[in-house]
Chains A and B, each alone.
Chain A
Amino acid sequence: EVQLVESGGGLAQPGGSLRLSCTASGITFTTYSMSWVRQAPGKGLEWVSYITSGSSTIFYADSVKGRFTISRDNAKKSLYLQMNSLRVEDTAVYYCASWPLSLHAFDIWGQGTMVTVSS
């Protein structure tokens, strides 16, 4: 079964840090570019970050640039998002999603992990 499973969400204080993980199964992870997409409560989807299969190209949304770091470990079929200097407005469900170059779209999504930033 093709699956992406996120973990690592939880409660953090403003200015704090969290590290999200996304583990893939049922796909050839090493051939996929990946992204993080978030959704604040009751709001729409917001793209956060993107990384190519070999980590050679990385993009960030302006809202997280300089605070968040995306990375991956292909041997572990895992994607990560290190989130530092967290703000209240980072509160959201964070999804990992695969971006196959054959489709140029986010074709597989995880179930999401909730991040709450509050004092």
Chain B
Amino acid sequence: EIVLTQSPGTLSLSPGERATLSCRASQSVSSSYLAWYQQKPGQAPRLLIYGASSRATGIPDRFSGSGSGTDFTLTISRLEPEDFAVYYCQQYGSSSFTFGPGTKVDIK
């Protein structure tokens, strides 16, 4: 099973700042099967990025994804108040799906 590690665990930033979230896999992941989700308290997750770098429908262009192999990054160019949430990366491979432990982006 591929294990995903996310860093940092918590990112404390101010609105308007840039957020860079990392997702590292224990073995190579196909970029086609790497996704990012946002989750706010009491809500279901929301798909942000699929295929490592494609924005889902309705996702603002301040969200971008990049990376390949074992290292992937989610970047939020300028944090808006509604962006403070927990972010998860997720991969599919070898008949199994795994999520990273999440990065919490909170207000500094």
Contacts and interface: CB of A to CB of B under 8 A. Distances in A.
Q: Do they bind each other? A: yes
Interface of A: 35, 37, 44-47, 50, 59, 61-62, 95, 103-107, 109-112
Given A47-B98, A107-B47, A109-B44, 14 more contacts: A44-B100, A45-B37, A45-B45, A45-B88, A45-B102, A46-B99, A50-B97, A59-B97, A61-B96, A95-B44, A104-B92, A105-B90, A106-B37, A110-B44
19 contacts: A35-B97, A44-B99, A44-B102, A45-B45, A45-B90, A47-B96, A47-B99, A59-B96, A61-B96, A103-B50, A104-B50, A105-B56, A105-B90, A106-B35, A106-B90, A107-B56, A109-B46, A111-B44, A112-B44
> Which 7 residue pairs are nearest across A and B when measured between Cβ atoms?
A105-B50, A105-B35, A47-B97, A109-B44, A45-B99, A103-B50, A59-B95
Report whether over half of chain A's contact residues are helix, strand or loop; otherwise say mixed.
loop
B22 to A, nearest CB: 16
A110 B45 CA distance: 9
B63 to A, nearest CB: 14
A10 B43 CA distance: 19
Contacts of A107: 47, 50, 56
B9 to A, nearest CB: 11
A47 to B, nearest CB: 4
Interface residues of B, number: 24
Contact of A105 (B47, B96, B98, B101): B47
Contacts of B46: 109
A47 B4 CA distance: 13
Interface of B: 1, 32-33, 35, 37, 39, 44-47, 50-51, 56, 88, 90, 92, 95-102
